[in-house]
Amino acid sequence: MKILMPVVSLLFVVSLYSQNNKTIQLLNKIDSTAIASANVFVDDQFVSNSDDQGFFSVPASREFSAVKISHVLFGSVVFTKAAILKTEKIYLEEKTSQLDAVNISGHKKIEKLIFPEKSTLNLKKNGVSFPYNTEVAVFVPNDRLLDSYYISKIIIKTAKNQFIKSNDAKYIPFEVNLYSVDPVSGLPGTKVFNDNFFAVRKQDDADVSIDLSAMPWTAFPDNGIFIVVGLFNEAYYVGMGYSQKPSFGVVRRKKKSNFKEYHRNLVDGEPGEWTEPMYSKFNLQCFNFGLQITK
């Protein structure tokens, strides 16, 4: 009887998990292929991403009103609790893209990476984080006035050794968007995308890359653009079981570099004023955020 107890206990745990969580699969409406890396929100709080087979779980025993599922390449859907608990599979429709109208047949793509220029004195450092409820904007200049390029990827350099190393901490999320440059102040202006990207870095990856190639064509403006990265509040990370914040790569910039960095705090969800830290004013350091542009 003692030999059977661990097996019975394990079955009880699995049964209890199944009762407390509802597992659903996301599929492409066109060909029924699995949709991975979709963002899942319960009452506007990010809880997980769909896995490589398109599966995700919602807490069936928890009180909530709605579940929202969004993906950069697909339309968003919202379910009430009653509806989601009765659902086994969800089919999403692909977004139409302005890129579909661009004929690139027989055209060899030209791709360039744009990152802050490193000083010859650049030192390898551990990653740097910033306070909860804070956004960091890195200005990416178009110094060469590169014409006819569109932004195909946002690339966030992260710090591998600063992330949680426990095997069950698969994701540490943060938000990313692009902002235009205000023509008067030179500060971040308006969002390029209405909804922020909920970026996640898997533990063994060095970077977070957000692929925009299937999104509506975003030209690389002559006056540059801002990459804005934001952290959620502390309660969110603690509630998700993360004891640390995401850490990001930094570089010591060349003195002539036109990259700039600005910060602002969010108070009760309302953004404050953008300010430039002293190390940016003196061209000393910058978060290592960059772009891939394609022609």
Instruction: Give tens-digit pLDDT for 257-268.
Output: 899 999 999 887
HSE at residue 209, side-chain half, CA atoms within 13 A, is 11
Q: Compare 103 and 81 and report the one with higher pLDDT.
A: 81
Tokens encoding 262: 């600005």
Residue intervals in the chain for CATH 2.60.40.1120: 5-92
Which residue in 23, 44, 48, 21 sits closest to 36, CA to CA?
A: 48
Q: Which of 50, 49, 82 is nearest to 64 (CA)?
A: 82
Model-wide pTM > 0.85? no
* 138, 226 contact by CB (below 8 A): yes
CATH number among 2.60.120.10, 1.10.10.2840, 2.60.40.1120, 3.30.450.20, domain 5-92: 2.60.40.1120
pLDDT exceeds cutoff 70 at 170:
no
Task: Output Rg (C-alpha) for the chain, integer angstroms.
Answer: 22
Give yes or no for residue 16 having a pLDDT over 60: no
3-class state of residue 278 by DSSP: helix
Residue 7 pLDDT > 80: no
Instruction: Answer yes or no: are the C-beta atoms of 291 and 113 closer than 8 Å.
Output: yes
pLDDT at 140: 94
Confidence bin at 177 (pLDDT 50/70/90): very high
Enumerate the H helices of 157-273 as residue ranges. Answer: 234-239
pLDDT of residue 128: 80
Quick one: which of 33, 34, 79 has its CA closest to 60? Answer: 79
Amino acid at 276: E
- Mean residue pLDDT across the chain: 78
Query: Has residue 167 got a pLDDT over 50?
Result: no
> Which of the two residues, 87 and 200, has the higher pLDDT score?
87
Rounded percentage of the chain residues whose pLDDT exceeds 70: 78
DSSP bridge pairs for 294 = 111, 150
Q: Where residue 136 falls among pLDDT bands split at 50, 70, 90?
A: very high
State the span(s) of the chain assigned CATH 2.60.120. 111-294
| Confidence grade of residue 227 (pLDDT, cut at 50, 70, 90) | very high
Q: Which of 159-163, 191-195, 270-274 has the lowest mean pLDDT?
A: 159-163
The structure tokens listed for 53 are 């087979």
Comparing 167 with 279, the larger pLDDT belongs to: 279
Cβ atoms within 10 Å of 280's Cβ, excluding its own: 20
What CATH number should be reported for the domain whose range is 111-294? 2.60.120
31-45: pLDDT as tens digits:
888 988 788 888 877
Q: Which residues of 218-249 are buried (b: 16+ CB within 10 A; e: fewer)?
A: bebeeebbbbbbbbbeeeebeebebeebbbbb
Are residues 229 and 180 in contact, defined by beta-carbon separation less than 8 angstroms? no
pLDDT score at 160 = 53
What would the pLDDT profile of 119-134 be if each residue is shown by its tens digit?
Answer: 766 555 667 888 888 9
For residue 169, the model assigns a pLDDT of 41
Q: How far apart are CA 67 and CA 77, in angstroms?
A: 8
Q: What is the mean pLDDT of residues 231-240?
A: 82
Mean pLDDT of 273-277: 94
Q: Does residue 27 carry a pLDDT above 60? A: yes
Contact (Cβ atoms closer than 8 angstroms) between residue 231 and residue 246: yes
CB 154 within 8 A of CB 293: no
The pLDDT of residue 291: 94
Higher-confidence position of 70 and 33:
33
